[in-house]
Structure 1
Amino acid sequence: SYKESISYNADYVRKNYLEEGANYFNGYTLPAMNEMYATDKGWAGKIANIMERIKPFNKKDYENVKRLPKNPNTLNVNALGEAIPYKDYAKDATA
């Protein structure tokens, strides 16, 4: 489902890019994540623009917020049907 896909991908990004000590952690900002996540140097700006269209940035929205807990559910990608194509690439794979 869309919900499971979003949940899985959000969990994957958090575990691999946004946790200190993770394989691809380089900081908590889009520009820091851009270094390890995308070869497109403009990726962080493009994502920021999409985020701005969804919900315009307001600093007050981020004051006194608590960090969300980790997703306890892990999607079993081996159980995905043919309707959801999935390919697990090697860590050092390139396009």
Structure 2
Amino acid sequence: MHPATGTPVAGGLTYCEGMYITEEIHNTRLLSALDLVEVNPRLAASEEEVKATVSLAVDVTASSFGQTREGGHIVYDQLPTPSSPDISESEERVRI
């Protein structure tokens, strides 16, 4: 539950649940409208709470439009080669 919203819901969706739902909605390609969330900075006790709430709102909204969650990425200014013994298989996958 994020503090800088006017309609907090105890037991509501977690961040991961919200992201999963919006990713799946995007995957249907049927999204035709989006009701943006309410963020009210005056309800937060600190600037950190406002930033956390805004960050969550931006992430969930962007996910609705197709932005995917990011994991750990390697620096890809030089692509790894199969002969590089110190690079694991998961590190060879580069997200473009």
TM over 0.5: no
- Per the normalisation by structure 1, the TM-score is 0.21
TM-score by length of 2: 0.21
For the pair shown, which has the larger CA radius of gyration, 1 or 2?
2
